[in-house]
């Protein structure tokens, strides 16, 4: 059996990792293209270009450490890179219109603090987009079985090998909804994807491609990964329109027509 996969970056180089990246890239492209404002931030996971379809003038990529790209390869999108901690963002309060968290919460030592920082830097009606692994899925069950067997010392038939990255604590979508609700976020949209079983080879993943359509139709909440969009609501705040009012056009004065008779 394949050895344990330690980091998320190494796992994305495998066949299931590329399969998941393709699905998530499509979701981020569709969600970010219609979100408007001035400032957007991707927090973590440089392997994904979550803001490439977004049209905000200022876009940042922040991570604890960033890989160095070859000088011969131009940057694929106009985003500035920052090295920072997700739990202490170098942005003033209410300064960002969009924050994207691709697997950031489950890889953080303090996901609650990360969400509090996101709530602090977002403007009222700003949006946060989150993706994460779903524990209630075939992939989540395979991961839980591997961890349990490793704790019990069971190594027969490679039962203790983990399918997903070892680092991080996966957060279920319903648990995340509760966290967002406590911070006055309102979930606008959510969806699940990647319904193929926990196999490692590209050949078998392609053979089970039909499960993506069947799973989305028959058991939608059991996808291996979830995608969620939430908006920051501020109580007691009311968005006002323009201060001026359009003038109503007055009725035209009647015109007298001369008549010889």
Q: Residue 228 pLDDT > 90, yes or no?
A: yes
Kindly state whether residue 261 falls inside one of the protein's structural domains.
no
What mean pLDDT comes out for the span 216-229? 93
Greatest pairwise CA separation for the chain in angstroms: 114
User: Rounded mean pLDDT of 197-210?
Assistant: 92
Distance between CA 101 and CA 228 in Å, rounded? 10
What b/e sequence results for 107-134 when a residue is b if at least 16 CB atoms lie within 10 Å of its CB, and e otherwise? bbeebeebbebbbbbbbeebbbbbbbbb
d(CA 40, CA 58): 6
Decide if pLDDT at 159 tops 60. Answer: no
pLDDT tens string 247-258: 565 555 565 656
The highest-confidence range among 5-19, 190-204, 233-247, by mean pLDDT, is: 190-204
pLDDT digits (tens, 9 = 90+) for 49-87: 999 999 999 999 988 776 655 444 444 454 677 788 888
Range of the domain at 185: 8-232
In a domain, 258, yes or no: no
Q: Is residue 248 part of a domain?
A: no
On whether residue 241 sits in a domain, the answer given is no
The pTM of this model reads 0.81
Report whether 22 contacts 41 (CB < 8 A): no
Three-state secondary structure call for residue 83: strand
Query: Is the model's pLDDT at 189 over the cut of 90?
Result: yes
- Mean pLDDT of all residues in the chain? 83
pLDDT at 236: 64
Q: Quick one: pLDDT at residue 240?
A: 56
Interatomic CA distance for residues 226 and 213, integer angstroms:
16
When pLDDT is averaged across residues 237-250 and rounded to a whole number, the result is 57
Q: Could you give the 3-state DSSP secondary structure of residue 202?
A: helix
Determine the pLDDT at residue 1: 37
> Residue 148: which pLDDT band, with cuts at 50, 70 and 90?
confident
Kindly report the CATH number assigned to the domain that includes residue 22: 3.40.50.150
Q: Does the structure show a pLDDT above 60 at 118?
A: yes
Count how many Cα atoms sit within 13 Å of the Cα of residue 216 in the half-sphere of its side chain: 11
138 lies in some domain: yes
Q: Using an 8 Å Cβ cutoff, are 232 and 126 in contact?
A: yes
Domain count, the chain: 1
* CA–CA distance, 108 with 88 (Å, rounded to integer): 12
Mean pLDDT, rounded, for 115-128: 95
User: What confidence category does residue 23 fall into, taking pLDDT thresholds of 50, 70 and 90?
Assistant: very high
**Domain contains 246:** no
- 193 to each of 66, 136, 205, how far by Cα in Å? 27, 12, 14
Averaged pLDDT, 12-40: 93
For residue 64, being part of any structural domain is answered with yes
Residues near 89 by beta carbon (within 8 Å), at least 6 away in sequence:
41, 43, 62, 117, 118, 120, 121
Question: CA 163, CA 200: separation in Å to the nearest integer?
Answer: 8
Q: How confident is the model at residue 177 (pLDDT cuts 50, 70, 90)?
A: very high
In a domain, 71, yes or no: yes
The more confident residue out of 218 and 150 is 218
């Amino acid at each position: 059996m394949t050895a344990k996969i330690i980091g998320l970056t190494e796992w994305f180089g495998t066949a299931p990792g590329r399969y998941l990246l393709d699905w998530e890239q499509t979701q981020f492209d569709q969600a970010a293209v219609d979100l408007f404002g001035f400032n957007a931030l991707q927090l973590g996971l440089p392997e994904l270009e979550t803001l490439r379809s977004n049209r905000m003038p200022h876009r940042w990529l922040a991570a604890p450490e960033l890989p160095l790209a070859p000088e011969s390869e131009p940057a694929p999108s106009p985003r500035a890179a920052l090295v920072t901690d997700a739990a202490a963002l170098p942005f003033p309060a209410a300064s960002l219109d969009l924050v994207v968290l691709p697997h950031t919460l489950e890889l953080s030592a303090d996901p609650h603090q990360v969400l509090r920082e996101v709530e602090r830097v977002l403007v009222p009606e700003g949006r946060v987009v989150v993706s994460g692994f779903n524990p209630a899925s075939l992939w989540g069950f395979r991961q839980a079985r591997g961890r349990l067997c490793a704790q019990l010392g069971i190594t027969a038939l490679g039962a203790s090998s983990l399918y997903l990255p070892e680092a991080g604590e996966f957060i279920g979508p319903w648990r995340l909804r509760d966290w967002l609700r406590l911070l006055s976020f309102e979930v606008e949209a959510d969806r699940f994807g990647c319904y193929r079983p926990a196999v490692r080879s590209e050949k078998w993943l392609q053979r089970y491609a039909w499960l993506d359509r069947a799973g989305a139709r028959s058991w939608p909440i059991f996808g291996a990964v979830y995608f969620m969009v939430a908006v920051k609501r501020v109580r007691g705040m009311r968005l006002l329109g323009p201060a001026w009012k359009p003038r109503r056009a007055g009725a035209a004065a009647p015109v007298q027509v001369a008549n010889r008779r």
